[in-house]
Amino acid sequence: MAPTNSIPPPAGVYVPAVLFFDDNEDLDIPSIKAHVLRLAKGGVTGILVQGSNGEAQHLSHDERKEAIRVTRQTLNENGFENVVVIAGTGAQSTRETKKLCADAAEAGAAYCLVLTPSVWPNQMTPDKILKFYRDVADASPIPTMIYNFPTVTAGQNLTSDIIGELAQHPNIVGTKLSCGDVGKLHRLTSTVPATKFATFPGKSDVFLQGLISGSAGVIGALPNIAPKAHVELYRLYKAGKLEEAVKVQALLGQADWEMGRLGSIGGIKAVVSKNFGYGNINVRGPLTPATITAANTQKLEALIAFEKSL
């Protein structure tokens, strides 16, 4: 049964954490725990388990529950009870999405982030999209959020009109805009109260631009590598030090672009395992590990140097 008093997640820096696998492509629990702990110590507000960077579509239901459970347990056992856990619960049917939301709640997630089904994109009319999200929100035992990521949903790009209409639902409390559209973000923040609905850009290269436009922070892949740098930008912005924040944003924007060219998921794992003393480069097929060199990680190295200085 859906809660009746849902509130949005607190503003701040959220990270769709990569999930580490061993050489047999099984969950590498020690590396997953080490990563969760470094992110929490880096000051993130929350961790998204099974965002696109978490290879959600490559996991069984049991593995998805286990990853959420391990994340919540690791945070609790190390004094980070206040770090929020969001679970990606997107699936291709309404029925399975509802099941994943229930599983996420059981495993300790506080919120669900739901992708638009994408096997039949031509049949996903605005009415069907509205019905899908409302049906899921009606059934979810924890508050839900809308995940707009055209790259992984066969090009479907939800409009601000559709998201704004869904924001009126009592159990839909936010959105992650991985489309990177700051105009869309601003239209939402200027029409839906932040106390009811949290709007996050899904990319670090528009983190500051989003804040200026009223966003609740960021949910981005790059904090996997540099959580402290993102928290520092957020602090500078909140302190009114815009000029300093712009300099940090330039670092983030360059590194985010470079990481995308590396292949994001594999690139993140390769950079993390090289620079932070845990993890490995294994991904689940058909993805392949990324190869990093001094030539293709110059901007990331500049960001990591800044991260380690904080």
Binding residues for pyruvate: 219
147 catalytic per annotation: yes
Question: What's the CA dihedral at 189, 190, 193, 197 to 10 degrees?
Answer: -20
Q: What is the DSSP letter of 13?
A: E
Judged by DSSP in three states, 144 sits in: strand
| Residue among 149, 81, 159, 95 nearest 118 (CA) | 149
With beta carbons less than 8 A apart as the criterion, state whether 309 and 228 touch: no
Instruction: Tell me which residue has tokens 């009109």.
Output: 161
Catalytic residue among 111, 133, 147, 237: 147
Distance CA 23, CA 18 (A): 16
Residue 30: CB atoms within 10 A of its CB come to 12
234 catalytic per annotation: no
Instruction: Tell me which residue has tokens 């923040």.
Output: 189
Catalytic residue among 176, 184, 228, 269: 176
Q: What is the DSSP letter of 9?
A: P
With beta carbons less than 8 A apart as the criterion, state whether 248 and 221 touch: no
Residue 170: CB atoms within 10 A of its CB come to 14
Q: What is the DSSP letter of 169?
A: S
Distance CA 269, CA 256 (A): 14
Tell me how many helices (H) and strands (E) the chain has.
11, 8
**Which ranges of the chain would DSSP assign to H, the alpha helix?**
29-41, 61-77, 94-107, 126-139, 160-166, 182-189, 207-212, 227-238, 242-262, 265-275, 298-309
Catalytic residue positions, numbered: 147, 176
